[in-house]
């Protein structure tokens, strides 16, 4: 009897261990993409460095979005260094589902500029819909939200193109290592009414470029497949066809995600001043 009980316990341990192993194997790119679609509200922080054309950009972002309530906030701090000069731009934005409140503070060469403004979604739609063909107000609002939804507009697109190198346990989380090779043509999308079409086309042709990106990244996800941390290095080669000149860019960013949504204290301030 004692041997039978011991065998039963060992059997249960083996089954449980096997279940854990099979659960790890079930985590795939597709399951992570599905988890991203199922997220409602989250907040994230970004630390980003960009180096291009002799300039260095240090960018910090603190953003949050609630998809169901159609609310988002964003604080963006950009520092630019070029030779012996520097500048800084800080932006605060809050959208409550029907109205956008914003404040922009810019410092350059010791001079400070401040602008505060607000627009309803109807005012924004009326300002831009003439440049958008067959886009309803509801579709416009959806595009506004998707553009501010990093998981949907950025990370999901990135992972869809990525080649997964490995998925492994890292403590209580999973670490996904990936690479992306991307080549595409870039042409400015300019929609200016009453502009000379020839001038516009000449400008677009002068800015037409071929871009090659080589990215290496690591993504940490929890046991639900939700991203918790992202590290990416991106090296880009940009060749302007008309000028036949090539430039190189280096972009590095680290992002942390939390699945709590709470409006920051500065939201009340820009609402009162807008």
Residue 148: inside a domain: yes
Residue 241: inside a domain: yes
Please say if the pLDDT value at position 236 is more than 90: yes
The residue with greater pLDDT, 27 or 189, is 27
Residue range of the domain that includes 63: 30-273
Q: By the 8 A CB rule, do 70 and 176 touch?
A: no
How confident is the model over 91-150, as pLDDT tens digits?
999 999 999 999 999 987 778 899 999 999 999 999 887 777 788 999 999 999 999 999
For 90-151, the DSSP string reads EEEEEE-SSEEEEEEEEEETTEEEEEEEEEEHHHHHHHHGGGSTT--HHHHHHHHHHHH-HI
Structure confidence at residue 195 (pLDDT): 65
Residue 22: inside a domain: no
Residue 114: inside a domain: yes
Q: Give the pair of three-digit tokens for residue 30.
A: 């597709």
| Cβ neighbours around 120 below 10 Å, total | 11
Residue 244: inside a domain: yes
| Cβ neighbours around 227 below 10 Å, total | 25
CA 238, CA 253: separation in Å to the nearest integer? 20
CA diameter of the chain: 93
Residue 224: inside a domain: yes
Structure confidence at residue 25 (pLDDT): 53
Residue 17: inside a domain: no
| Side-chain-side CA neighbours of residue 167 (13 Å) | 19
Residue 45, C-beta contacts closer than 8 angstroms, at least 6 positions apart? 60, 61, 62, 255, 256
Structure confidence at residue 7 (pLDDT): 43
CATH of the domain at 225: 2.50.20
Q: What integer is the mean pLDDT of 77-95?
A: 90
Q: By the 8 A CB rule, do 112 and 106 touch?
A: yes
pTM of the full predicted structure? 0.83
Residue 13: inside a domain: no
Structure confidence at residue 228 (pLDDT): 98
Q: What integer is the mean pLDDT of 216-242?
A: 96
How confident is the model over 102-117, as pLDDT tens digits?
999 998 777 889 999 9
What is the tally of structural domains in the chain?
Answer: 1
């Amino acid at each position: 009897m004692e041997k039978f009980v011991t065998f039963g316990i060992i059997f249960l341990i083996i089954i449980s261990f096997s279940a854990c192993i099979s659960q790890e194997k079930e985590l795939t790119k597709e399951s992570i993409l599905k988890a991203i679609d199922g997220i409602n509200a989250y907040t994230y922080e970004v630390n980003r460095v960009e180096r291009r054309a002799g300039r260095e950009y240090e960018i910090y972002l603190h953003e949050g979005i609630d998809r169901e309530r159609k609310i988002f906030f964003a604080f963006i701090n950009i520092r630019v260094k070029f030779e012996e000069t520097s500048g800084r731009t800080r932006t605060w934005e809050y959208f409550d589902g029907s109205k956008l409140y914003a404040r922009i503070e810019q410092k350059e060469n010791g001079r400070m500029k401040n602008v505060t403004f607000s627009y309803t979604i109807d005012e924004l739609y009326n300002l831009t819909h003439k440049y958008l063909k067959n886009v309803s107000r509801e579709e416009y609002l959806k595009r506004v939200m998707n553009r501010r939804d990093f998981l949907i507009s950025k990370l999901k697109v990135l992972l869809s193109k990525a080649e997964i190198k490995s998925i492994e346990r890292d403590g209580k989380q999973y670490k996904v290592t990936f690479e992306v090779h991307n080549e595409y043509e870039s042409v400015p999308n300019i929609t200016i009414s009453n502009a000379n079409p020839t001038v516009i086309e000449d400008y677009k042709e002068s800015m037409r470029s071929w871009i090659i990106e080589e990215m290496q990244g690591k993504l940490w996800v929890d046991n639900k497949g939700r991203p918790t941390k992202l590290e990416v290095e991106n090296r880009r080669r940009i060749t302007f066809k008309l000028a036949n000149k090539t430039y190189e860019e280096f972009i590095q960013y680290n992002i942390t995600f939390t699945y709590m949504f709470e409006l920051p204290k500065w939201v009340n301030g820009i609402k009162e001043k807008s």
